[in-house]
Structure 1
């Protein structure tokens, strides 16, 4: 005896299709939202991670500055000092007034030393311009060579600093010519006399073409050499100094204000705005008064 089975009716088929469509749309929406949340989380974590890593060096070097900060500008070809002027913008942290912004800052870091001064030309006449330094001890600075034209030579014994105008190194002995004249008699060759000197080199940070760049040797022709610290920077002019009041004629330039924004453009097409991170800080030199008082360019 055969059994007769009827097919789905049109109504039943439409209802089944509607339920299937609703479930499919729900699953698609859930998958899309989940993937978007994962992508947003990756964008945020990646942005914060690279900002922390790249800014650690920036913060360390700025805080280790041995001189006041000098704002500079870079147009892609030329580097030039900038004269900061006060603006009406007030810093919310210090309540001081912010200068005109620039895309660069230069300052000096301890290059090496202390080195023993082993001889001085024309020492007894206070007309010395040439020193010899013993590099066999304390030559563990972060810079190579240990001394070069453009460095600052500081002699703590007499609390003076000098510009290095010529330098040569033979073995562990450096011969250094400075300006201005020494102006003092230190007699390093007399037994018992032990006079030391420190060397300070000019470095800089610039922002150009969405890149944060570190110039480890901001002297002469070396200014154009840099190390890429961070790309995808969206703050064209992050550096400024502070003025005590809105009418202050000048700034001490001992507090550098920077507001650095990084936007991960790999995620920008997906409009993950959480991929943006901003670092804003006021950085003073660790030691004040600074070891080097002059901010003249090398």
Structure 2
């Protein structure tokens, strides 16, 4: 039978798990994975459940969850786990994250449908990369015409049915308007262990402070630069011997693996927003 993934959040109260599992049992849904979290600070409940279900019962299960959602004031999503998510990749001159995501996608590590690669540099910049038939769009950012470029980008996102936009070291700051449009469905990789060293040239900032650890952060994009809910982070130790160029070289590896992990979590519905934070149901 097909596998489905249910995610939900709602005000915490007794009986939520019983209501959800009982509803699935009513239609002979077989629960394969179940994770939950009670946030004592916000008094909210979060749940992720993977279950097998006969396709002919899906409509009834969905209809039942509509009723449950009203009773428990749930925000919820129910998705066929076998259907690949539609993802758009944005890149600039530095293409190491783009190349890594494409490689992981090609070998099946990141099961998704790539709707397009969009860059503010021409196709020749990436001549060493094999896009394997993925549509490529060059949308340059010209002085005084950023609004037009973002309008074209927003139209492309809409036309392709893109569910998630990934800023794979896309070195352009999204406008507040576009960031709001993509709220909860745009992931950025920032080359710093946030909240430290926001903005431009974070490795140079880190070197100037003589840090002993550098890192990278994958987070959802918001209108506030580098302030969005954090999804994944990692670090690596460095020393006073390391120059800014050394930090950049070391950082490239951290950025690649942090972005890939965040994307992997999103593709498998493991990330739930909790205000300005996230709940990540890791494996």
**TM-score using structure 2 length:** 0.19
State the structure with more CA Rg: 1
More strand by share: 1
Q: Identify the structure with the greater helix proportion.
A: 2
Q: Which has the higher contact order (CA 8 A, sep 6+)?
A: 1
